[in-house]
Structure 1
């Protein structure tokens, strides 16, 4: 089986993650290069609450965790994944009764928990970041309920990983003045930082507490694109939001976000940690990752040839295979557009390929709403390997593929995040996709005898041999629409040629 077939495998992979604060079951729809979440459920059990003082798992947290794991075992019997992976992290690792808990889980559910070391936990979280950002450079910080892990990534590899007891649960139990707590966090963070050398161009934040920080920052900024993954901000901005959160009551934070109150109770303490983290690492920028330890375990299950694939392109290719009228046309359309756009930078060509693969995936929607539904679907899609500007570029291109009038896109608040010249380029690509799709009915076999040309400032559509039968009023109208989008002064031409 080749890499692409492996990348779109339908064999489900399940991961059970027993953390210090939450217990979660995630079932991925195959070990795909871009994760597809078939099932996702979590319980904020709080296993690690009070661990610093008692040395044992929290009794009520243990009861809730066991109840969740019994349910997860029953669900697995029905989901029947091809593979089940488990991991237990800091609370189970550090608690005196951790081995006893694992034995109870095995006896009552048949699930054998794999207890990860701190560095192993950090390595897996960093692999989750690499699943979404294959070329990521910098540091990954994963915060759980009881611990914090740092890992350094470069060249598609995890170079090193370390851990420290800097999760909010043990810090909230600290018996001392606030100043003493801050000093302790600073000392532990400095020790952690001493294990890594060099500057940090980018810091990737993993974990529920960090995602809650991102949600609050979005709410305070009225940020129009509500996608946590690859939300990126200057370090100074994240420092400001961390400082603000550290002085807020959880009840007030709850008025600004739908994050659970259980999570928000941890957030002011987590914000203290974040401030010291930013001070110690001094990263160039800060990015939030929705991918972490569970995705890192999925990444580990992938064959090397699948890991080498582009997560964005594979996600779009899979979407095309499931939803397009004629899967395979996206690649044909991309090739057809090379005469117009082949000189674009590699990053833009990558986005154009992704747009072509997605161009026909909302065709079942009502025609009156298809363009806007396409825009929303693309901006909110579960895709790795694309930042927010890239998402918007894809959304504008695919909306322009469905609708000639760009006013609705111009009015969308998220468009302000994309420079005007990028909107123009995406619109031009969308108009070209619109022409190609209409010309051949979105079937791969209809484009070989047609060609788009741009010579001496004039756009020309060449139809050879039997392709001349495809000529019609709608084709001419869409050719003229593309000409307008490209800003050309000369009128577009139809060139009908006899087939050699």
Structure 2
């Protein structure tokens, strides 16, 4: 296969473009930022809406160039892959211009730093792009991968493993940035070293990992799996088991179960594995090698669970550039608030809803864990995002958006909480309504709290009509005799009617106490 040579960058600057007129789905104060990751297997550009705690992806494209193909034997980057990468980077540059990107960051990893012709390739990239290329050391890769886990998980604890095409980086997410290590176990390299023998690949991985013990310390025994090949393993497991969510981020699997599944992936024809269509064809060639390495990780490092991450070095790099104040924000609540601003009728009403339900839960004596409180607040922010849909379809639409949204910092049980609350807020709570499929991911207690929150939503939205400034005037009291009241001031007396009274009776069933509406003054 022969590809045309990439032309040098034009000496004539691109024509100036008028400022973009943003659609209502964009937050106007944000300046797009692009991160390009030049890896051993792929070259990817992600353009984010802005550099924030929970950046939304504006544009995402990868080309599986295979720069590291044959590197172990030749010591050089594959020439055809180099030309493909440079052509992709030219396209990426044009996309940056069209989307009016403010900052561009280019990162290069194992193949570019180790190849004999790596410096020449990097020079060509810098000449073409006009930007400096940050060639990451193995320790830097491990560090940014761990920051990617901080960006994507709430209070993570455990070991991070980032499997690329050329190397595997390992680091304890709770230790200092110099504690990471890199091993030559990336999928492309391992396949070449093993002569395409999976048995030999397992032996190579076992030897390398055995000589490189990780330090768990006081961390939870969670292994965070980063990288496209391991994400594909997780996606295949989801599809193979008819799991009710397609979201791969924070998909958490028991280590023994995943070990058995990796054995299956490494020992069978991929076409025979149910659910393989969920994995792109370009990813399948390295899938067995990713499974082999994961199997050895489980055997040697003995994690209790594996959590798949959609975030890695790119997101970790962006996270490293945030202020301390920004990194201290909650990624889930930040993303939920952004979506509320974009989709709710009155975003300030959603803030009031979070405060009001906190008061009500306290008066009902409902204890919440830190995560349950986060989930309730997020559910309040998202409670009105389905209002534009036809009434017959609001429940289903809101359910699908929330269950599969690009939120991070939330477990799959947490997603189920949000989905249950949103579904019943629109669909009702009668027995005939049933439960959404994602309910199986939630404990009975989680389902109970989500349904109760939905019951409150159904009362409060009838009283407020999603208008800010009403809820602060509505009180809620609970007496010691198992009764409670919504209290409204005299100037809101006309809000009481048949439908609110009916909803209050439904809430009585969910809460287990007799509730009523009363006018004060």
TM-score normalized by the length of structure 1: 0.93
Alpha-carbon distance in 2 for matches of 1:443, 1:285: 44
Matched with 1:461 is 486
Alpha-carbon distance in 1 for matches of 2:144, 2:97: 26
Matched with 2:21 is none
Change (3 A) 1:138 1:362: same
Which of 358, 366, 373 pairs up with 1:338? Answer: 358
CA contact (8 A) 2:154 2:410 kept: no
Structure 2 residues without counterparts, runs of 5 or longer: 1-26
Residue 77 of structure 1 pairs with residue 102 of structure 2: no
Change (3 A) 1:178 1:316: closer
Alpha-carbon distance in 2 for matches of 1:84, 1:9: 18
Per-residue CA distance 1:460-491 (angstroms, 9 max, x = gap): 11111312232222221221221122133x3x
Alpha-carbon distance in 2 for matches of 1:478, 1:303: 45
Alpha-carbon distance in 2 for matches of 1:169, 1:353: 44
Which of 220, 227, 230 pairs up with 1:210? Answer: 230
Residue 51 of structure 1 pairs with residue 76 of structure 2: no
1:262-273 aligned at under 5 Å gives the runs 262-273=282-293
CA contact (8 A) 2:455 2:506 kept: yes
Alpha-carbon distance in 1 for matches of 2:486, 2:216: 57
Matched with 2:22 is none
Matched with 2:412 is 388
Residue 432 of structure 1 pairs with residue 456 of structure 2: yes
Matched with 1:412 is 436
Change (3 A) 1:409 1:229: farther
Count of residue pairs the alignment pairs up: 489
Matched with 2:309 is 289
Alpha-carbon distance in 1 for matches of 2:178, 2:461: 46
1:138-157 aligned at under 5 Å gives the runs 138-154=158-174
Matched with 2:23 is none
Alpha-carbon distance in 1 for matches of 2:77, 2:430: 57
Alpha-carbon distance in 1 for matches of 2:253, 2:275: 23
- Give secondary structure in 2 for the equivalent of 1:368: coil
Alpha-carbon distance in 2 for matches of 1:175, 1:377: 43
Residue 481 of structure 1 pairs with residue 490 of structure 2: no
Matched with 1:3 is none
Shift of 1:129: 0.7
1:178-257 aligned at under 5 Å gives the runs 180-193=200-213, 201-253=221-273, 256-257=276-277
Matched with 2:347 is 327
Matched with 1:171 is 190
Shift of 1:255: 6.0
CA contact (8 A) 2:149 2:173 kept: no
Alpha-carbon distance in 1 for matches of 2:220, 2:165: 25
- Give secondary structure in 2 for the equivalent of 1:87: strand
Matched with 1:38 is 58
- Give secondary structure in 1 for the equivalent of 2:243: coil
Per-residue CA distance 1:152-182 (angstroms, 9 max, x = gap): 1128x65621101101111111256765543
Change (3 A) 1:436 1:250: same
CA contact (8 A) 2:240 2:275 kept: no
Shift of 1:72: 0.3
Shift of 1:362: 1.5
- Give secondary structure in 2 for the equivalent of 1:448: helix
Per-residue CA distance 1:322-344 (angstroms, 9 max, x = gap): 11111111121122223431242
Matched with 1:376 is 400
Shift of 1:453: 2.1
CA contact (8 A) 1:46 1:61 kept: yes
Matched with 2:518 is 495
Change (3 A) 1:407 1:55: farther
Per-residue CA distance 1:225-256 (angstroms, 9 max, x = gap): 11101100111011111111111234445962
Which of 395, 419, 423 pairs up with 1:399? Answer: 423
Q: Which moved further from structure 2: 176-185 or 466-475?
A: 176-185
Change (3 A) 1:465 1:249: same
Shift of 1:408: 7.6
Alpha-carbon distance in 2 for matches of 1:91, 1:259: 24
Change (3 A) 1:199 1:375: closer
